[in-house]
Structure 1
């Protein structure tokens, strides 16, 4: 397997690096983070102009049709720069569900707006009782004469307050924990009966608690995945975890770079602490943890295309376990080696640590995915 990026991917990487350098100097990013929205629509328009909003969308709908390795390249740079725009919520989650489960009419109606940056999507799926079980859904979709009526509550909907269209997972039949009987519905963010309460996550990014109180949805706005809805949700979640692994690599790479620079300047006993052997050992261990996560992120990008859900799920779980362990170790070492400055909001490394913590928690941490691996017999057969 060739682990080097090709020429197209290199050019994409350089384009995103240049965009991030222009948009996210620390002071400018802080002003955006502290704004009411927590992100910039003007910046998102520049993402769309560069093609990032339609990165994974087929050319027929206005996208550029890139695959998981191009997504990996983009996410690593977005992680390095701590970009707060809704790439994960809109492109990977909402856009991914429409790409995999939408019919032709739905794709033609929604995907061009996604690619142009005019349409924001969010995936309203997680519920308070569910933890990280994707099939644990209590929200109900009752059949009506003209479509469906949704009733339920969703939590931690990434960019849910800003989304123009919510992709909502709801139960058509069966009990709360049944793997069958789940549907996906397109609901306007400002539809009657939708109540959204915005909040910030641990890394300062926007999310929302959303209540659906007798929300009427026409039949044409149910995504067309009969009997396969959970499989589609699991696939999109796996693709998103693979992308988050790449983002985590970018976050850790930036933390390591900043830590190396800091210990080269910080002095004790009249000399730079970078000359101390104990410090050098810790930096080496940080590098090893980073490269372990990078290798698994590359693996996740490849296995994420696998059509075998068990093989793909095991590979993604293994990548998330390593990612979580590396994020925790590199983050803790970066904060400790920076000393008190690492905990301040006026210095970037603390924000990187917050994002690392958020990535670790999204779609389950190391313990959850270790249990998944154990239940499936491990990543490779004995």
Structure 2
């Protein structure tokens, strides 16, 4: 499809790409990933000063009123450098819940700190038994003395280790897989009764398993309405899928271009690898898969930003395509580089691992294909 960024959006994209080029060499990324807290606090503060943390929030909330289009521009550039800072977790996911459901009091108390980088969010929604179904929730919030008692376990909580506040999906009524009866609660990450197990993920990021045992939550911690949190959760999941897909498109571009450059330089039988027709065809297929993803990303993002009725179905199609194409491009990039493609010293393998993780977040390709066909 035909798509062009506005002048302001292009300036944003250019500034993010400069930031990534200056700060995210492979060596710099590995060093950050291996140290605590797994990203650069200085980079996070720079993002706040540049206004990127304020990007998706309304002007009345202290933000810049950006849409999914601006987030796409930023995340695609982040994907080119495999940026480690928790923008997706804190701003797109956690911030996405707050901007859609938080009360004026909740926003006034927390959003300024999220925007200036002094507070971080984590959305604790996934559970071990749930697979990819957002409505499958057994973590329970039982009404008690004007508030709630929270019990349960949340899995693969992104940014759980450094978040100052957790947004927890909990069941206040209904059966295990009912979309009604899910309530979103804002919880202090240091509240009594919370236990956290942190671990590195295969792509160099961090996640946590968080246990809530008799955690006391006040009634004013409810985001939105009691039992009506699923609609907010679904909308945030859609935004996260768009952001992840944009990141994946950025990563695919790097893999494709690195592979073309390598085959032009690598000699075999007295010729560059790029001269062999079978390898030319392989790289054309990589390029076509990348372009299809990019085109569908633009369509899904524009439909979502414009409130189109077909947006949900297009998002399912996009996530399926990103999973399939990302794996295809990454596998071929590794194969055309040979064994060195998966070494830690070459960035190809790092992008491969990130694309594999993106495929599994918020539902893999097969899951979204079933949703698309339903």
Q: Is the 8 A contact 2:263 2:274 kept in 1?
A: yes
Cα distance, 1:226 vs structure 2: 4.3
Aligned to 2:347: 348
User: Residues 243 and 301 of structure 1 are in contact (CA less than 8 Å); yes or no, is this contact kept in structure 2?
Assistant: no
Please give the alpha-carbon distance, in whole angstroms, between the structure 2 residues aligned to 1:278 and 1:339: 16
Q: Give the 3-state SS of the residue equivalent to 1:291 in structure 2.
A: helix
Contact kept? 1:300, 1:316, Cα under 8 Å: yes
Instruction: Return 5+ residue gaps in structure 1 as ranges.
Output: 376-382
Contact 2:53–2:115, Cα closer than 8 Å, also in 1: yes
1:307 Cα deviation from its structure 2 partner = 4.6
The residue number in structure 2 matching 1:379 is none
How far, CA to CA, are the matches of 2:305 and 2:131 in structure 1? 26
TM-score scaled by length of structure 1:
0.95
Shift of 1:146: 3.2
2 CA distance for matches of 1:296 and 1:225?
34
Match of 1:92 in 2: 92
Moved more, 129-138 or 101-110: 101-110
**Alignment-derived partner of residue 166 in structure 1:** 166
1:137-286 equivalent positions in 2, closer than 5 A: 137-286=137-286
Check conservation: 1:102, 1:225, Cα contact below 8 A: no
Q: Does 1:69 align with 2:72?
A: no
SS in 1 for 2:223: coil
In structure 1, C-alpha distance between the alignment counterparts of 2:194 and 2:117, rounded to whole Å: 23
Q: CA deviation at 1:227?
A: 5.0
| CA deviation vs aligned residue, 1:182-228 (integer Å, no higher than 9, x gap) | 10001111110011110111202010000000000111111123453
Do the aligned partners of 2:173 and 2:181 also contact (CA within 8 Å) in 1? yes
The 2-side partners of 1:190 and 1:228 are apart by 26
Deviation at 1:312, TM superposition (A): 2.8
- Secondary structure of 2:310's match? helix
Query: Residues of 1 paired with 2:265 and 2:254: CA distance?
Result: 17
Matches of 1:232 and 1:195 in 2, distance apart?
A: 26
- Shift in Å, 1:59: 2.1
Structure 2 equivalent of residue 31 of structure 1: 31
Shift of the 251–350 alpha-carbon distance from structure 1 to 2, 3 Å rule, reads same
Alignment-derived partner of residue 332 in structure 1: 331
Q: TM-score by structure 2 length? A: 0.97
Distance 1:132 1:219, change over 3 A: same
The superposition leaves residues 92-116 of structure 1 with CA deviations (integer Å, 9 ceiling, x where unpaired) of 1000000011111111111111110
Once residues 152 and 306 of structure 1 are traced to their aligned partners in structure 2, the CA distance between those partners, rounded to angstroms, is 37
Match in the other structure for 1:54: 54
Cα separation, 1, equivalents of 2:321 and 2:28: 32
Task: Sort the Cα spacing of 1:293 and 1:60 in 2 relative to 1 into closer, same or farther, 3 A.
Answer: same
CA contact (8 A) 1:90 1:120 kept: yes
Instruction: Return the alpha-carbon distance in structure 2 between the equivalents of residues 329 and 6 of structure 1.
Output: 32
- CA offsets, 1:42-90, max 9 Å, x none? 1110111111111101122322111111111101000001001101100
Contact 1:194 1:213 in 2 (8 A): yes
Residue 370 of structure 1 aligns with which residue? 369
Residue in 2 aligned with 1:133? 133
Cα drift, residue 361 of structure 1: 0.7
Cα distance in structure 2, aligned partners of 1:187 and 1:149: 11
Cα RMSD of the aligned pairs, angstroms, is 1.3
- Checking the alignment, whether the CA contact within 8 Å between 2:148 and 2:218 is kept in structure 1 is yes
Per-residue displacement from partner, 1:116-138 (whole Å, max 9, x unpaired)?
01110000010000000000000
For 1:129 and 1:304, locate their aligned partners in 2 and report how far apart those are by CA, in whole Å: 29
Aligned partner of 1:108 in structure 2 is: 108
Distance in 1 (CA, whole Å) between partners of 2:162 and 2:297 is: 29
Secondary structure, in 3 states, of the residue corresponding to 2:202?
coil
Q: Secondary structure at the match of 1:319?
A: helix
Deviation at residue 274 of structure 1 after TM alignment: 0.9
Query: Which runs of no fewer than 5 residues in structure 2 stay unpaired?
Result: none
